[in-house]
Amino acid sequence: MTTSQLEQILSDYNTDLDIELKTSEMYDFDFDIDQYLADYLEDLTEDMNDDETSRVYKYMYNKAHKMTTAEKQRLRKLQNNLTYGRGVFLEAWPELIELRKKDLISRNENPYNYDLEARSLMKKFNA
């Protein structure tokens, strides 16, 4: 299993996870992100040998829900710029939203339950 294949698996997983999170928010049911990853990997690796399976599990658990130090620092910098009045350039908003989303997923929270585009991150009110 090559690194590019592992990156493709991670990309497919992130796409599927995004769809599942949107669905769970739309139909208002609880969603366990860690359990979803475990089920996803179980289905994915059922036809693989032990070496491939262990490599896929190791790669996915290290990459899927963890933020890098650089991402955490960038998120903190953008949020501080918003909080302390310097603001954020319009070009940086999509990056801020993606980092907020990834941070919430790493904390096992559904990002679609939050207003990611608000000045300060707040949970949405259920109507």
User: So what's the pLDDT on residue 28?
Assistant: 67
Question: Closest Cα partner for 32 from 120, 98, 108, 112?
Answer: 108
Mean pLDDT of the chain: 85
Number of separate domains in the chain: 2
Dump pLDDT digits (tens) for 41-73.
Answer: 888 888 888 888 888 888 887 787 788 899 999
Residue type, 96: L
Which one of 15, 30, 65 terminates a domain?
65
The two tokens of residue 122 are 């707040």
Same-domain check for residues 30 and 71: no
The answer to whether residues 60 and 1 belong to one domain is yes
- Domain containing 90 equals 67-127
Same domain, 50 and 12: yes
Please indicate, yes or no, whether residues 101 and 53 belong to a single structural domain of this protein. Answer: no
Confidence bin at 75 (pLDDT 50/70/90)? very high
Alpha-carbon span 113 to 54, nearest angstrom: 33
Task: Say if residue 31 is in the same domain as residue 79.
Answer: no
